[in-house]
Structure formats: structure tokens, C-alpha cells
Amino acid sequence: MNSSSSTMSFVLSQKGKPLLVMDDYVFRLNKTTNTTKYYRCENRDCTATAHTDLNNVLLKERATKESTPIPKIYEEESAKMILKFSTIAILPSQREMSSSLNKARHLETPPIPDSQIFDIPYLYTRTIKNEEFLCADKFMKKKTRILLFASNEQLKMLFQNSIVLMDGTFSTCPKLFGQVFTIHSIKYEQSFICGIGLLPDRKKSTYRFVFEELKGLAVRMNLVFSPSTIITDFEPSLAEAIISEFPSSNHIGCYFHFTQAVYRQIQHLGLSIGYCSDESIRMTCRKRMALPLLPSSVVLKCFEDLYESVLLTSSSTLDSLKPLFEYYENYWVKTIGIKRWNVYGIRIKTNNNAEGFHNRLNLRVAKHHPNIWIFTRCIQGEEIRFNHVLIKMIGGLTCRTKTAATNAIQQRIDTLYLRYQIMILLLMTYYSDFLMSLQKIHRRKEKNN
């Protein structure tokens, strides 16, 4: 009997017992277990049997390869099946299935370690296609372990592209480690995840260790890991490590993180009400947030001009805004430095793509601080997604279209940049003509003398 063309339905006998009807043959319920119901042909002389298990093989496969809760897997797979009410009524329930599915999940999962000293099974060091995935497994010192996951294709993209995003996340980090550190590369105007690290902490020495490992991997691939632009948040230890390991790279702080930090300070100083109700306070704060969009050579002058304009306002406005100016000058100008947060002329101003990846990883892991095996299975799935997206991009797929509002904002910024450059050219021409005129006047004066 060809199962691909078989038809199946359930009916009730005259005594109210379930009957399985398959290709016009009728089967009576013979035996029931926690997960399966077995049927025998109603003809006692026939030895044919059948059983139902609600697509149990697929359920077990999902239970062993995903961290999705068992009830959710059951509900999702049940929703995919188009069955009659009578059919649904006699299939095993979620409660009946949970025991076997949990058992299958536990059998497939290695013992959960309680320290950083543990062995990683071979399957968890490979991609789903059985290629090398755990590219670095090192102890910086006793009980301080670093794991780096990346396929050869991911590393190749990382080392061959010029723009790199870096960011950390914590909610999806296994309990034995301090953070999940992700590294992304830009290609085809699309962000690709190129490396995922489990780090013990957020120290400068740890980040340097990671970068040195990646440089070593690049050498073994006859490549060089030296991106021209690195975009991160403003974490001090990460910034120090980047300056040490990539002195020739342009290290840019995320503009979105910059504006967030400034607005948090506005709230901290009690300016939220004034920001919402007072136009002068709001415009001053917004102008200060926009300073990174200006050429770095004029930022300090514009900051001083902005402060002088506040001095001309009412004393109450000055008293409100003065602490914010002091914070801006002491932290952003003197401590961080203008170069770190200046994004003038840079197309990619944030590492929001890395944040977006973290959000998707949170959804995929589906729990806070999963065990190391659940986490590894999830990032193995992300490596598969990396390959699929890359193949589609190579095949001509374009990146996601930006919204009309985003395009309009970028167009306005580009227009303002163009006007600024034209103004500079006009001023240069004016000063050149002015100097030439002064020179001619000076020559005439010399002749007359």
C-alpha cells in the first residue's frame, strides 16, 4: 500500500468505539500507550495493523534539537495537521506525549556541566553539516575559559570585509560564562553574523585574547584580520582592547547608544518635564545630540556656540541646562574624545544590526541563561541561516528596503552635508579672492612708496 496516496479518517462504531478507516479498510483500536495507539484490521483473519502517533518522529526531532518548550512544539505541530474532530479526539494529548518527548530530549542532551572544566561532545563542535564550528577553546588561566564558534565561511567573510560590528549580550548567555560576544560583518549592505564567543567577563585582557585568537585563525587561512572600521558601543575595556589590537582601524561608537546615553542623563538630571514642555530646552538638547553628525573639526566650536546661546536665555533655563553641558564636556569631550563618537560622512552609524541579531537569538533560545548545549544547538541553527542568506544574496537578493521615513531622514542629512560642503567651497573662494585683493593693494602701496 502506497502511504503517500493513502487516505485516513476516524469514525465511531455502534458501541462508540473509535475506528480507523484507511483506504476503505477499517481498523479497531487494540492497544494504547502513552504516545501511540495501535489498531488491528476488523477482519479477525487479517493480520494487518496500523498505529497513530501524531507525527511522533517529527515531534521527537524538534524536542531534541530545539529549546522550544514541549507544549509549544505540540501545539505548533498540531496546528499544521488538518484533521477532523473525530480524528483529533482520539490522538494522544500533549500531556500523554510530554513524558516521552522529555525523555527523548534528555537522552540526546549531554550532562549539564557545573563548572567551566568540561568536555564538549564532538557533535557540539561541528556545524549541522558536520563542518568545523568550534574554532577556539582556550583557558586564559585556570577556570577562565573562552569558546569561539564560527565556520570557515563565516571567518572568511569576517577577514575579507572592511566593516565590523561588535556587541555583547547577557540574557542568552549560559550560566557558566559572563557574556555572549558577537562579531558581525557587512556585505551586500547586509549584516552577517561571523563569530560568536562565550567569554568569562568583560575585561580588556579577555577581549585582547579573543582578537589575538582571530588574528591567528586569519594567518592560518592566509588572510589578515584588520578591519578599516569597527563599530561598537562605548564600553571602556572593549575600546581599550580595540585600540591596542587594531591601532590603524577607525573605531566608531554607536550613534544610537550615544543618543540613548545623553537622554538617560537628561532624565537623571530631572530635565524630562522641561524636555517635553519647554521648546528651548528641547531644541538645545537635540542640537547637542546632533553634534556627532557634524565634521569633527567644527564640533567643539559648535558646542561652545551652543553654550553661549544658552547663556543669553533666562537664568532658570541656564540653571537647568548647565549640569548637562558640564556632563557633556567632562565625559564625551574630555573622557571619550570627539573622534570616538563622530559619525560625519559615515553611512553605517550604529551597531543596531548586532542588537537585532541578539533579539532574534533571544527568541530562538526562548529562555534566560540556557545550558551550554541548548545554546550551542541554537547557534548551530544560526550558522545554517548565515549560509542560506549568503547564498540568496549571491543569487541576486537585495537587502531589506528601508522605510520611506528612514530614506527621507538620510536624504535630508545628505542634503545638509552637500550644502555644508558648498558653503565651505564658497568661503574658500571668498578668502582666496580676499587675500588676492589684499596682495594687490599691498603691491600698489609699495609702488607708491
Q: What is the pLDDT of residues 20-76, one digit of tens each?
A: 777 767 888 888 776 577 888 888 878 787 766 544 555 566 666 665 666 666 666
Question: Pick from 327, 323, 257, 262: which is nearest to 289 by CA?
Answer: 262
What is the reported pLDDT for 338?
95
Set of cell numbers at residue 66:
530545539
Per-residue pLDDT of 89-129, as tens digits, reads 555 666 666 666 666 666 667 888 988 889 999 999 999 99
What is the reported pLDDT for 441?
55
User: Mean of the per-residue pLDDT values for the chain?
Assistant: 83
Would you place residue 2 in the very low, low, confident or very high pLDDT band (cuts 50, 70, 90)? very low
> Which residues make Cβ contacts (< 8 Å) with residue 256, sequence separation at least 6?
349, 350, 351, 352
Per-residue pLDDT of 240-276, as tens digits, reads 999 999 999 999 999 999 999 999 999 999 999 989 9
Q: How far apart are CA 27 and CA 25, in angstroms?
A: 7
What is the reported pLDDT for 342?
94
Residue listed under C-alpha cell 548637562: 324
Q: How far apart are CA 260 and CA 272, in angstroms?
A: 13
| Choice between 246 and 10, residue whose per-residue pLDDT is larger | 246
| Global pTM value | 0.74
Indicate whether 6 pLDDT > 80.
no
Give mean pLDDT, residues 382-408: 83
Would you place residue 152 in the very low, low, confident or very high pLDDT band (cuts 50, 70, 90)? very high
Indicate whether 328 pLDDT > 50.
yes
Indicate whether 435 pLDDT > 60.
no
Q: How far apart are CA 39 and CA 17, in angstroms?
A: 12
Question: Pick from 224, 157, 210: which is nearest to 186 by CA?
Answer: 157
Indicate whether 8 pLDDT > 80.
no
What is the reported pLDDT for 5?
44
What is the reported pLDDT for 54?
47
What is the reported pLDDT for 107?
63
Q: How far apart are CA 79 and CA 288, in angstroms?
A: 53
Would you place residue 232 in the very low, low, confident or very high pLDDT band (cuts 50, 70, 90)? very high
Per-residue pLDDT of 165-220, as tens digits, reads 999 999 999 989 999 999 999 998 899 999 999 999 999 999 999 999 999 999 99
Would you place residue 424 in the very low, low, confident or very high pLDDT band (cuts 50, 70, 90)? low
Residue listed under C-alpha cell 575579507: 160
DSSP-derived letter for residue 291 is G
Q: How far apart are CA 134 and CA 150, in angstroms?
A: 6
Give mean pLDDT, residues 359-385: 92
Per-residue pLDDT of 315-327, as tens digits, reads 888 888 999 999 9
SS (H, E, C) 319-367: HHHHHHHHHHHHHHHHHHCHHHHCCCCCCCCCCHHHHHHHHHHHHHHCC
Residue listed under C-alpha cell 518635564: 273
Q: How far apart are CA 29 and CA 46, in angstroms?
A: 14
| Choice between 3 and 422, residue whose per-residue pLDDT is larger | 422
For the CA atoms of the chain, what is the radius of gyration?
32
Do 62 and 80 contact (CB within 8 A), yes or no? no
